[in-house]
Structure 1
Amino acid sequence: MSYRIPLIKPFINDRVKELVDEVLDSGFLTEGPVTRQFEESVASYIGVPHAIAFTSCTTGIETALRVAGIGAGDEVIVPDYTYPATANAVKIVGAVPVIVDVDPQTLLMDYDKMEEAVSANTKAVIPVSLFGNPLDFDRLMMAKERYGLLIIEDAACALGSSFKGRKTGGWSDMTVFSFHPRKFITTGEGGMVTTQNAQWAEAMHQYKHFGMGKSVGREEMLFQDTGTNYKMSNLLAAVGLAQMEKIDDLLNERMLLAENYRKLLHGNQKIRIPETTGNGMHSYQSFAVFVPDRDRVMRQMRAEGIEVQIGTYALHQHPAFQQRGVRLRGQYPGSIRAWEETLVLPMFHSMTSAGQTEVVQKLTLCVE
């Protein structure tokens, strides 16, 4: 279905087309020098030494877990309110996802519940910087030190966000980003892992290249270990590379759009905005609100030609996470509230103030 006001539009300018044409003309379509440039661009922007491109955020999380040595018998704590990929990656490597509730105000992992879930088998936590809301690394670093946990951040939506002035991607042991089309920096499909750890970076590079190690010449390649093909092509990387050249402008536009939504929604007692982490800068990959009777409101907004969407999923409600091999922790009031009330509004680089005003006017009518 085509909407008058879509949820998001990818940023495709002449520079994107120019770099894609260059790759097509080169005939070198698989992963190569353009992918390297894209990785370097992301690493430089965040301020870390290593960025490794992947086919998706999901395969990036899976590989991060593997190079950290996490597998059968290990437990990894994940939030209940997230896309299933977060917990699926844990299951794929043979570890046990331990699912905890989220804070009903920020929609991020409840850090108290996270600490209560730590056991002798807990090796890592995968907190999710949902919608671009940064994590509270004061709390996470205390837990890391207290329990010896690895922090592998699912930052699918959080490129451009920061905590205490330090960008997301520079805090965690490993941080994994998504470049899905709903992200404001997109490659169509794709992901990226950032880390300070050179050994992990090399292991990830090796794993996504079939286990192939470094060599002096092409005929001397050695396959050091089991691996697979999680490479990002030059073609996709070209799209991301061109967009990274404009990331500050795109991010500033999102800040202005978010501030305008806040002004338009100010004083509305039925439509509330989730809280941003203290000392954090939200990148507003998605602008989410809490509304009553969310599913009805969503249907009515879509009927008006305005594309709105649910936030994400409450994992404990789904059969895939009610099976053996998954540990559910108590009740999930925060996640249930998030699932039932969260609605994501349209936001894209070319959106006008008039378009935002129409979205809020229609939404206000729908909730009354």
Structure 2
Amino acid sequence: MKISFAPPFIDEDIIAEVVNTLKSGWITTGPKVKALEEEVAKLTGVPHVLCVNSWTSGAILILKWFGIKEGDEVIIPAYTYSATALAVLHCGGTPVMVDVKDDFTVDPEKIRQAITEKTKVIMPVDIAGLPCDYDSINQMVNLPEIKSLFHAHSENQKKLGRILILSDAAHSVGAFYNNKPAGSLTDITIFSFHAVKNITTAEGGAICINLPKPFNNEEEYKTMRLWTLNGQTKDAFTKSQGGGSSWKYDIIFQGLKINMPDICAALGLAQIRKYNTAILPERKRVAEQYHEFFSKREWAQLPITKDDTRTSSFHLYALRINNITEEQRDTMMISIAEDEVAVNVHFIPMPLLTLFKDLGYRIDDYPNAYHNYSREISLPIYPQLTAEQIDFICKSVEKAYKKII
């Protein structure tokens, strides 16, 4: 029984939406992108959403918009995909890595210990779709003793007057924290719509703008939109409408070129319209069948998908195996692969990667990150999985475990 790890969810509605775009004569940024932004806004309760061509480019945009430069520090967890840190490095800033808790999310106490006069941004990461402890983080940046350390050097930093909270919610579209949807929990949130995500545009992302006063979020949306188009005052769709001086434009600052095209937005648009009624419930179904099996195995540590304050988006099923080594975990994965079941690991902590080792980061400084990673196996979780396939996956994992003990 051959089982893929994370194939995209594509049905006839999605195909029809893409074909409609192709037939429309317009495939780059236009009405489909705008419609997707509106759907994400509906899903999150955030009135202004900007679609971009990837999570990474969205993070670079926000960091540049906030004025991050050489010497500035951005606090991130050591346990995340490298894009979280790479976005900071691309802007000239310094990623300050801190350890995580047992639930994979960043430890607020470690964040507090890492704040200095150079800290400009904190970037929590919702690993596997489980929201971080946002109450603690949001309260922290507003403490008088923390705000007194903040030294603004850009207009947007002066306007905010404190550390920016930028949520890396690449995994958590559809998650909830204290009954509030992901996207509305911090100043700025960025979702990923990469091919393996719960909602996909093949490649893409969405920036949810939720800044406090005195910011005008509608005006910031307009400014950030210019950022995605080289700082150009008119997009191609507006210029194409013809008549008079509609073709005239200006370049008003050094922007980026990271807009999402309509052909990609069409994929996500068809998916998001059935996300809460079909896609997300089916991911939950898969997780619950895994829970039912592995909760009866003492050697298995189940991921948290729901607790008193949080509900996951069920993006990953991050199973951990108790009392094994990294090498034993790898041996288990080889055995599972022999059954033609594709599994994965999320993630290799960044201090184990060559780039970051060369920059001076050491895994010994992040014991919880390593302990989580060394025992983690991500199991397939997507709507197309049948109960029979899930049962086969469970038994393959159990067989692999028994081989190593």
Moved more, 198-207 or 277-286: 198-207
Matched, 1:219 2:253: no
Structure 1 gap ranges (5+): none
Amino acid at match of 1:289: L
Whole-Å separation in 2 of the counterparts to 1:228 and 1:354: 47
Match of 2:283 in 1: 254
Shift of 1:328: 6.5
Q: Aligned runs of 1:30-109 on 2, under 5 Å?
A: 30-103=28-101, 105-109=102-106
**RMSD of aligned residue pairs (Cα, Å):** 1.8
1:233 and 2:261 equivalent?
Answer: yes
What number of residue pairs does the alignment pair up? 364
**Is 1:149 matched up with 2:169?**
no
1:184 and 2:204 matched: no
Shift of 1:110: 1.3
The amino acid across from 2:134 in the alignment is: F
Distance in 2 (CA, whole Å) between partners of 1:184 and 1:156 is 10
Q: Which moved more, 1:262-271 or 1:80-89?
A: 262-271
Give the whole-Å Cα distance in 2 for the aligned partners of 1:23 and 1:214. Answer: 21
Shift of 1:182: 1.0
- Code of the residue aligned with 2:24 in structure 1: it is S
Cα distance between partner residues in 2 of 1:12 and 1:274: 27
Please say if residues 100 and 328 of structure 1, whose CA atoms lie closer than 8 Å, have aligned partners that are also in contact: no
Residue in structure 2 matched with residue 267 of structure 1 by the alignment: 296
Shift of 1:81: 0.6
Within 2, Cα distance between the matches of 1:9 and 1:319? 29
Q: How far off is 1:338 after superposition? A: 1.8
What SS does the aligned partner of 1:152 have? strand
Q: Distance in 2 between matches of 1:232 and 1:60?
A: 11
- Is 1:115 the counterpart of 2:117? The answer is no
| Superimposed CA distance per residue, residues 185-206 of structure 1 (whole angstroms, 9 cap, x where no aligned partner) | 1111111110123343222211
Task: Note the C-alpha offset of 1:181.
Answer: 1.3
TM-score (norm 1): 0.95
Matched residue type, 1:27: G
1:338 to 2:372 alignment = yes
Q: Counterpart of 1:81 in 2: which secondary structure?
A: coil
What is the TM-score with the length of structure 2 in the denominator?
0.86
Is the partner of 1:309 in helix, strand or coil?
Answer: coil
The answer to whether the 8 Å contact 2:303/2:317 transfers is no
Aligned ranges 1:326-365 → 2 under 5 Å: 331-365=365-399
**Aligned to 1:119, what secondary structure does the other structure show?**
coil
- 1:235-314 → structure 2 map (5 Å cutoff): 235-248=263-276, 249-276=278-305, 278-291=308-321, 292=324, 293-314=328-349
Paired residue for 2:241?
A: none
**1:182 match: secondary structure:** coil
Letter of the aligned partner of 2:129 in structure 1?
Answer: G
User: Which runs of structure 1 show a deviation greater than 6 angstroms over 4 or more consecutive aligned residues?
Assistant: 326-330
Alpha-carbon shift at residue 267 of structure 1 (Å): 2.2
> Shift in Å at residue 299 of structure 1?
1.0
Unmatched 5+ residue regions in structure 2? 147-161, 211-216, 239-244
- 8 Å CA contact 1:68–1:200 kept in 2: the answer is no
Contact 2:80 2:127 in 1 (8 A): yes
Q: State the SS of the aligned residue for 2:165.
A: strand
What residue in structure 2 maps to residue 198 of structure 1? 218
Q: What amino acid is aligned across from residue 241 of structure 1 in structure 2?
A: L
The farther-off stretch of 39-48 and 6-15 is: 6-15
How far off is 1:274 after superposition?
A: 2.8
C-alpha contact 1:143 1:149 (8 A) present in aligned 2? no
Larger radius of gyration between Structure 1 and Structure 2: 2
1:242 Cα offset (Å)? 0.3
What letter is aligned with 2:184?
G
**Distance in 2 of aligned mates of 1:5 and 1:39:** 33
- Measured in 2, the distance between the counterparts of 1:236 and 1:336 equals 36
Offset at 1:73? 1.7
Which residue in the other structure is 2:179 paired with? Answer: 165
State the shift of 1:69 in Å: 1.7
Q: Distance in 2 between matches of 1:202 and 1:69?
A: 17
Residue in 1 aligned with 2:154?
A: none
CA distance in 2, matches of 1:152, 1:86: 11
Q: Give yes or no for contact 1:108–1:129 (8 Å, CA) kept in 2.
A: yes
Give 1:14 deviation, angstroms: 1.1
Could you tell me how far apart the structure 2 residues matched to 1:327 and 1:168 are?
30
Give identity over the alignment, percent: 30
Residues 188, 208 of structure 2: 8 Å contact kept: yes
Q: Which amino acid aligns with 2:124?
A: P
Match of 2:133 among 99, 116, 136: 136
Give 2:152's aligned residue.
Answer: none
